[in-house]
């Protein structure tokens, strides 16, 4: 077999996550041959820089997948649902960031630090990447599970507005501009009344001077889709179909980087010193935990970095089998583009030229 480096197509190259992906492709070891950039017809013809080279963006059609070995999809659900099977039918291995295929029995859901081998078995030619909320959590919790045996998770997320794409960021910035320098936030409903309908927002309530305890869509019985995703995806990734998970997802006025408060209960008794050792050496994790010295992760410190940062690690006061901790992870990097890139690189390693 002739050695060659595989070709790559980036679908959604002009979006927020696509922009991060292009940075990663330029920063990581170059395992790719030809790289093609694909987006909607309105973005076709634009030129973007990848690996120091200007590449013209192509419109999304069936023909763009001819000869492509790996196609990463960084697009909304409806685009992935239509076009990912097309790319797979053309012979490309698809790595998809949408929610469409995550829970399909015949599509592996992969976090390379935890279950990279799962990416090898792909009967539909598709590998899924988890949601940004799950990815902010799972590399740290997965490392602890390997040692102590995870039994239950209780999670509260503090999610950045970029989880709603560029529209979420634009809404927060516009709201902040309108409330800055005012006395708003001191009377019931004054922020909502002041903003009225002047801001085009994807959120159920103002995010400026506020938090919004709803992320995603209605999943029934009072749960949001993001909350159900943390439960369902964690079960699938860790191979724990009966894992008990309770999650509450909240948007906060942060541009990028999700934070999470985690209460994890294990089968075996835990010790903080051993948990520190595990987290300090776990791939994709940075331990930053000395609260007396002011050392703990915050979104403004973690944004733009690749790992999940972990701090405030402590044993439960009332349960020697439980740990509490605080995590931060950039939702556009490990929470989206980076995990997709890592999966794609895992697939690329199957080619004899890599």
1 pLDDT higher than 60: no
Per residue in 308-349, pLDDT tens?
A: 999 999 999 999 999 999 999 999 999 999 999 999 999 999
CB 297 within 8 A of CB 287: no
CB 313 within 8 A of CB 292: no
* Distances in whole angstroms, Cα of residue 305 to Cα of each of 7, 11, 298: 27, 23, 12
CB 285 within 8 A of CB 307: yes
- Phi/psi at 172 (nearest 5 deg)? -65, -45
Strand partners, 259: 158, 328
Is 46 or 354 the better-scoring residue by pLDDT? 46
Strand, coil or helix: 351: coil
- In angstroms, rounded to a whole number, what is the distance separating the alpha carbons of residues 175 and 1? 58
Helix (H) / strand (E) element for 329: namely: strand 322-329
Dmax over CA atoms of the chain, in Å, equals 71
Per residue in 10-21, pLDDT tens?
A: 999 999 899 999
Q: What percent of the chain is modeled with pLDDT above 70?
A: 99
Strand, coil or helix: 28: coil
Segment 83-95 mean pLDDT: 98
Look at residue 316 in the predicted model and tell me its pLDDT: 97
Segment 195-210 mean pLDDT: 95
Per residue in 236-246, pLDDT tens?
A: 999 999 999 99
The H-assigned helical ranges of 34-181 are: 77-89, 112-115, 132-148, 165-179
Look at residue 2 in the predicted model and tell me its pLDDT: 60
Cα dihedral 130, 133, 138, 141, rounded to 10, equals -160
Confidence of residue 4 (pLDDT cuts 50, 70, 90): confident
- In angstroms, rounded to a whole number, what is the distance separating the alpha carbons of residues 37 and 59? 9
Length of the chain: 354
Segment 183-211 mean pLDDT: 95
Which residues are designated catalytic? 132, 258
Confidence of residue 353 (pLDDT cuts 50, 70, 90): low
The H-assigned helical ranges of 59-160 are: 77-89, 112-115, 132-148
Look at residue 78 in the predicted model and tell me its pLDDT: 97
Strand, coil or helix: 249: strand
Look at residue 352 in the predicted model and tell me its pLDDT: 79
224 φ/ψ sector (left φ>0, alpha ψ -120 to 50, else beta): beta
């Amino acid at each position: 077999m002739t050695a060659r480096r595989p070709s790559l197509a980036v679908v959604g190259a002009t979006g927020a996550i696509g922009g991060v992906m292009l940075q990663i492709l330029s920063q990581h070891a170059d395992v790719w041959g030809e790289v093609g950039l694909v987006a909607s017809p309105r973005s076709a013809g634009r030129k973007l820089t990848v690996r120091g080279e200007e590449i013209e963006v192509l419109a999304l059609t069936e023909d763009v997948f001819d000869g492509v070995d790996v196609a990463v999809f960084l697009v909304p659900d409806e685009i992935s649902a239509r076009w990912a099977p097309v790319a797979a039918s053309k012979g490309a291995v698809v790595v998809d960031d949408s929610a469409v295929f995550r829970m399909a029995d015949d599509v592996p859901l992969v976090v390379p630090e935890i279950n990279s081998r799962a990416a090898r078995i792909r009967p539909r030619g598709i590998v899924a990447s988890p949601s940004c909320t799950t990815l902010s959590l799972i590399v740290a919790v997965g490392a602890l599970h390997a040692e102590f045996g995870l039994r239950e998770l209780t999670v509260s997320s503090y999610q950045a507005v970029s989880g709603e794409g560029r529209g979420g960021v634009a809404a927060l910035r516009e709201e902040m501009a309108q409330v800055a320098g005012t006395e708003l936030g001191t009377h019931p409903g004054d922020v909502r009344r002041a903003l009225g309908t002047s801001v085009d927002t994807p959120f159920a309530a103002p995010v400026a001077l506020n938090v919004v305890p709803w992320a995603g869509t209605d999943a029934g019985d009072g749960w949001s889709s993001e909350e159900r995703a943390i439960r369902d995806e964690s079960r699938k990734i860790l191979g724990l179909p009966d894992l008990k998970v309770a999650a509450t997802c909240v948007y906060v006025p942060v541009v990028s980087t999700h934070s999470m408060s985690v209460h994890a209960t294990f089968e075996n008794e835990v010790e903080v010193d051993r948990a520190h050792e595990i987290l300090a050496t776990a791939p994709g994790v940075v331990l930053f935990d000395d609260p007396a010295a002011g050392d703990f992760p915050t979104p403004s410190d973690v944004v733009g970095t690749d790992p999940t940062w972990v701090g405030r690690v402590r044993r439960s006061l009332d349960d020697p089998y439980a740990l509490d901790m605080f995590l931060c992870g950039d939702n556009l990097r490990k929470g989206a583009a980076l995990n997709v890139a890592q999966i794609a690189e895992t697939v690329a390693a199957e080619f004899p030229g890599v």
